Amino acid sequence: MEPVLLLVLLVLLVAGVVVTGTVVGTRRAVRALRSSSTVRRVGELGGYATLAVGVARHPARVDRTAGVLAARVTAASVTLQREVAVARRAGAHLGEVPTVLPRLADEGFALSRALRRVTTTATGHSTELHEAARAHLAVVADVTAAVRASTALPAAHGIGDEAARVAADLQAYAGAYRELVRPADAWGSATPGR
């Protein structure tokens, strides 16, 4: 009876490890999907589709300003992310922009979602959302302009860095050549014991 009990316990242990591994793997996959920018963009497209249906059903209750601001916030966020990707590929110095970018994207996503919701429903705080969206757009425009300016810099300074490296190499070569051709008495006086 003991071998059967041992076998049952071993099967239960293996089943527990498999189930635990599956649960942990599923949680990681779900977390990765939720943080994916592609899934976020698909969600935004679904939100805009819902907005279009709401506007088509009740055109009299539409806050067009909120709809336009929602689209502008989303477009500005996508443009900023595209500019940062271009700057990274160019090797531009971005400073703190990569650390701020996720927070800006999250804020833009939340603003866009709230503006889409306000577009088809009557609420009292829509002007506050409009002002927040305009402020967000101004910040994103400033950051985008700074990233574009930073992207232009490596082309201007790239040759300067290369020229400085070439000059340093030439100075090292000249110093080594001077060491080789200096007079023989300099060698004798430099070595101790002679």
What is the per-residue pLDDT across 129-165, written as a single tens digit (0 to 9) for each? 889 999 999 999 999 998 888 888 755 555 556 666 7
Other C-beta atoms closer than 10 Å to the C-beta of 117 total 18
The average pLDDT across 114-118 equals: 86
- Confidence at residue 159, expressed as pLDDT on a 0 to 100 scale: 59
Query: Residue 2 and residue 78: Cα distance in Å, rounded?
Result: 65
**Confidence class for position 194, pLDDT limits 50, 70, 90:** very low
Sign of CA dihedral 118, 124, 129, 131: positive
Other C-beta atoms closer than 10 Å to the C-beta of 41 total 14
Q: Provide the whole-model pTM.
A: 0.59
- Confidence at residue 109, expressed as pLDDT on a 0 to 100 scale: 87
3-state secondary structure at position 157: helix
Residue boundaries of the structural domains of the chain: 37-175
What is the per-residue pLDDT across 1-37, written as a single tens digit (0 to 9) for each? 688 888 999 999 999 999 999 999 999 988 887 777 7
